[in-house]
Structure 1
Amino acid sequence: MLTVDFDRLGVGAGTSVIDVGCGAGRHSFEAYRRGADVVAFDQSVEDLNDVDAILQAMAEQGEAPAGAKAEAVKGDALDLPYEDGTFDCVIASEILEHVPADDSAIDELVRVLKPGGRLAVTVPRWLPERICWLLSDEYHANEGGHIRIYRADELHDKIAARGLVLDHRHHAHALHSPFWWLKCAVGVEKPNHPVVAAYHKLLVWDMMSAPWQTRRAEALLNPLIGKSVALYFTKPAVA
């Protein structure tokens, strides 16, 4: 389930990409599949071991072009171990809401991006996220959980203040918002609750089958209750 629109980013053969806070690796896999040279970056060794295994399997099974490269790297998003202007594309999907020093993290995302490069940042959208917080403290008040709720304009201003220019904004995953509201209402530690389990089954079916009916419904609902907001920026080229 991708939150970032790779067609909009123009990721392809030879594009250097870092997926900061890659988690389970969904965006890293897509970039690699498109032929990019990918760094899947995270602080979780357990997640990175799984991501690395899948990247290797993709290479062995020919799911990525032969010339593409991919590696999993452990590190701190507040101190990325790369030179200024290293990457054509930087992705930070659903991580800034977890980071206390988000300004420092944004500084690093911008620093390692090449002039003329593209930055994609996604975070939970204010309204769906606010409802989750109202329904359940369990949802966010835990180690490593969400520590803030962004308004899209606030996040835009933080990034634009570093000199980047917003190209596009969109919302995603509207069908997932009611799922999380249900989980929060019945208890986030109750995945087997009949209503939650039934909705989860629906979401899995939708992701696997992608029928036009649910794709159309989500497209219509995204502007209203999309679970995530995605912002795309360009770093101005040096004259």
Structure 2
Amino acid sequence: MITVDFSLFPVGPGDRVLDLGCGGGRHAFEAYRRGADVVAFDQNTADLADVATMFAAMRAEGEAPQETEAETVKGDALDMPFDDGSFDRVIAAEIFEHLPHDTAAMAELYRVLRPGGIAAVTVPSFLPERLCWALSEDYHTAEGGHVRIYTRAELQAKLKAAGFVLGPNHRAHALHAPYWWLKCAVGTDDDAHPAVQAYHRMLVWDMLQAPPTTRIAEKALNPLIGKSVVVYVRKPLDAGPA
């Protein structure tokens, strides 16, 4: 499930891309397929092991150009082990809502991005997230859960304060919002609930088949209930130290 729109976030051969808080690696894999050199960065050792296995499988199957490189790095988003201006592109998908010190992580993102480089930042949208919090205490109090709800304006203001120039924005995954409302209503751990299972099967079918009906419906619903908001930003060419 890709949240970033790569028509607004061009990635290709010669680009060095950081997937910050990569999780399962969905965006790292897409950047790798497009011919970029990719660093998948996270604190979770198990996730990084799975991502490294997938990178190796992609190499073996020829799913990425032979000359490209992909690696995993474990570390802290507040103190990344990279030089200033190390990356042409940075993806930060669904990470800042987990971090108590989000502005410090944004400053680190700014530091490791080269002048003129582009970042794509995604967080849960305000309305879908607010409903999840209202329906379930466990949703946002579990260890490692979400510690804040962003409005798009707040996210953009924080990124602008970090030094970024704001670019386009959009919402994504409207069809996923009701799934999480169901999960929160019946219990976030109750994956066996019939309604949850039925909706999950529909989402899997939609992701695999991408039928026109659901694609049109999601595009129409995204501005209203898109589960994620995506903001694209640029580091100024004349940027000084972070």
Matched, 1:147 2:147: yes
Shift of 1:86: 0.7
Deviation for aligned residue 1:162: 2.1
Show the 5 A alignment for 1:199-238: 199-238=199-238
- Shift of the alpha carbon at 1:38? 0.2
> Take 2:105 and 2:236, find their aligned partners in 1: how far apart are those partners?
19
CA-to-aligned-CA distance 1:98-128 (integer Å, 9 cap, x gap): 0011111000001000000001100000100
Q: Percent identity?
A: 62
Structure 1 match to 2:120: 120
Report the 3-state secondary structure (helix = DSSP H, G, I; strand = E; otherwise coil) of the residue aligned with 1:192: coil
CA RMSD of aligned residues (A): 0.8
TM-score (norm 2): 0.97
Give the aligned residue type for 1:65: P
Question: Is the contact between residue 103 and residue 162 of structure 2 (CA under 8 Å) also seen in structure 1?
Answer: no
User: Displacement, 1:163?
Assistant: 2.1
Hey, what does 1:158 align to over in structure 2?
158
Aligned to 1:5: 5
Distance in 2 (alpha carbons) for counterparts of 1:128 and 1:228: 9
C-alpha contact 2:97 2:148 (8 A) present in aligned 1: yes
Alpha-carbon distance in 2 for matches of 1:65, 1:47: 24
* In the alignment, structure 1 residue 183 sits paired with structure 2 residue 173: no
Matched, 1:22 2:22: yes
Residue 7 of structure 1, CA deviation:
2.2
State how far apart, in whole Å, the 2-side matches of 1:162 and 1:129 are: 24
Distance 2:162 2:187 in 1: 40
Unaligned runs of 5+ in 1: none
Deviation track 1:119-161 (CA, whole Å, cap 9, x = no partner) reads: 1100000100000000001111110000100111001001111
Contact 2:16 2:88 in 1 (8 A): yes
| Deviating 4+ runs (over 4 angstroms) | none
Amino acid at match of 2:27: H
Deviation string, structure 1 residues 189-220 (Cα, Å, up to 9, x no partner): 11110011000000000000000100000000
Corresponding residue pairs, total: 239
Deviations 1:28-69 (A, max 9, x none): 000000000000000000000000000011011100011111
Task: Extract unaligned runs of 5+ from structure 2.
Answer: none
Work out the CA distance in 1 between the residues paired with 2:45 and 2:57. 18
Which residue in the other structure is 1:41 paired with?
A: 41
